[in-house]
Amino acid sequence: FHVTDQIGRKLTDPSLPGFIQRALLPFQRSGSPKFTTCLGNVVGPGGPDVSDCASLEFTVHDRPGLLSSITQVLVDQGCHVASGQAWTHNGRAAGVLYVTTTGADGAALHPSRWARIERLVNAVVDARENVSGERRWVCMSAPVRGRVHTERRMHQLMHDDRDYESGPAPTPVDEEHFCMGDRAATAARSVHRTQTRVTIENWEERGYAIVKMTSRDRPKLLFDTVCALTDMHYVVFHATAGAQGPLAIQEYYIRHKDGRTVDSNAERQKVSRCLVAAVERRASHVSQPPLAISFLSVRPSVFSLGAQC
């Protein structure tokens, strides 16, 4: 990886390579210092420690007041949210909330309480559903170590919820822009909002499916794309990724885990839709904006005010 800072400058801080190494090694994160980026953002290796927290996961139909109603159940049960994320896309909502007790003694809740909270959240979600047969899923799990990365888990939840099924079919890439040259950069600069485009072809001589993808460049784009391919059980053998101005260009040579390529038009459509959905879950658009929320340490005394607003 050839890395620049957030505004495209070379990295000159001598402490940064060590910071990146510590961030990539999960067993060497304790005591690691924070780092301030060129835009003033303070970051550090890993996220908050949620190993002692229970996990509330849900996928439901999106609607106003959804997050408030769910967190109000937690408030009423004497819990607070230590950390969490919530995403929306194509009318669907998914969230992962890490929950702990707010008791004065600081003791962990009994496992039977987790099952009760799950039933209550399910009841709240069911009571507000207006669509007959609307699918939903709620699961409360006890504290465990070695959890799946939260954003990785968010992609899994939304993929399992089939948020990629709605909307028009993805547009094929513009082959004139699919090159790492000045022409692509010039064309991309003239586009105020770059549409996500996907083309999938089979390279039968080598047994690969070639995925070509163009989209608006942004942080974590490569992570989101690879998560989508992994959720569909594809293996990436070769890849190229780069950016020209606001345009991100990605190319993947993939096979299914059992050695198959992308054999049918229906499968190609599904892969294309899944890749577009993975990119747009985190992105923001002017029309029908998806939502991505992260929050830390939401205590009952604080969040109950927000829930009433």
Please say whether the beta carbons of 57 and 131 come within 8 A.
no
100-129: per-residue pLDDT in tens? 875 555 556 677 788 899 999 999 888 765
User: Does CATH place domain 54-165 in 2.60.40.10?
Assistant: no
Q: For 44-50, what is the mean pLDDT?
A: 64
For the cut 90, the answer to whether the pLDDT of residue 26 exceeds it is no
CA distance 197 to 211: 10
State the DSSP H helix or E strand holding residue 305, giving kind and residue range, or none if neither.
Answer: helix 300-308
Extract long-range pairs of 279-288: CB within 8 Å, 24+ residues apart: 279/196, 279/215, 279/221, 279/224, 279/225, 280/89, 280/196, 281/87, 281/89, 281/154, 281/155, 281/158, 281/163, 281/224, 282/87, 282/218, 282/220, 282/224, 283/216, 283/218, 285/193, 286/193
Q: Which segment of 154-158, 181-185, 219-223, 262-266 scores lowest on mean pLDDT?
A: 181-185
* Greater pLDDT, 142 or 307: 142
238-283: per-residue pLDDT in tens? 999 988 878 889 999 999 999 999 989 999 999 999 999 999 998 7
* Greater pLDDT, 150 or 146: 150
Average pLDDT, the chain: 80
pLDDT at res. 80? 84
Q: Which amino acid is at 141?
A: S
202-226: per-residue pLDDT in tens? 998 999 999 999 999 888 999 999 9
pLDDT at res. 283? 72
* β-bridge mates for residue 93, sequence order: 60, 88
Please say whether the beta carbons of 307 and 75 come within 8 A.
yes
In 77-181, which residue ranges form alpha helices assigned H by DSSP?
A: 111-128, 150-160
CA distance 63 to 59: 12
Place of tokens 């190494």: 21
CA distance 85 to 156: 13
Q: Three-class SS of residue 218?
A: coil
pLDDT at res. 231? 95
pLDDT at res. 49? 72
Please say whether the beta carbons of 56 and 97 come within 8 A.
yes
pLDDT tier, 285 (very low <50, low <70, confident <90, very high otherwise) = very low
CA distance 112 to 80: 17
Q: For 277-305, what is the mean pLDDT?
A: 55
pLDDT at res. 185? 52
* Greater pLDDT, 52 or 225: 225
pLDDT at res. 210? 96
- Give me 20's structure tokens: 């990146």
CATH fourth-level superfamily of 197-284: ACT domain (3.30.70.260)
Q: Which residues fall within 8 angstroms of residue 99, CB to CB, at 6 or more apart?
A: 53, 54, 55, 56, 74, 79, 80, 81, 82, 117, 140
pLDDT at res. 114? 84
Please say whether the beta carbons of 229 and 300 come within 8 A.
no
Residue spans of the domains in the chain: they are 54-165, 197-284
Rounded to 5 degrees, φ, ψ at 223 are -60, -50
pLDDT over 90 for what percent of the chain? 41
Are the folds of 54-165 and 197-284 the same? yes
Chain-centre distance for alpha carbon 36:
23
pLDDT at res. 227? 96
pLDDT at res. 160? 96
Query: How many helices (H) and strands (E) would you count in the chain?
Result: 8, 11
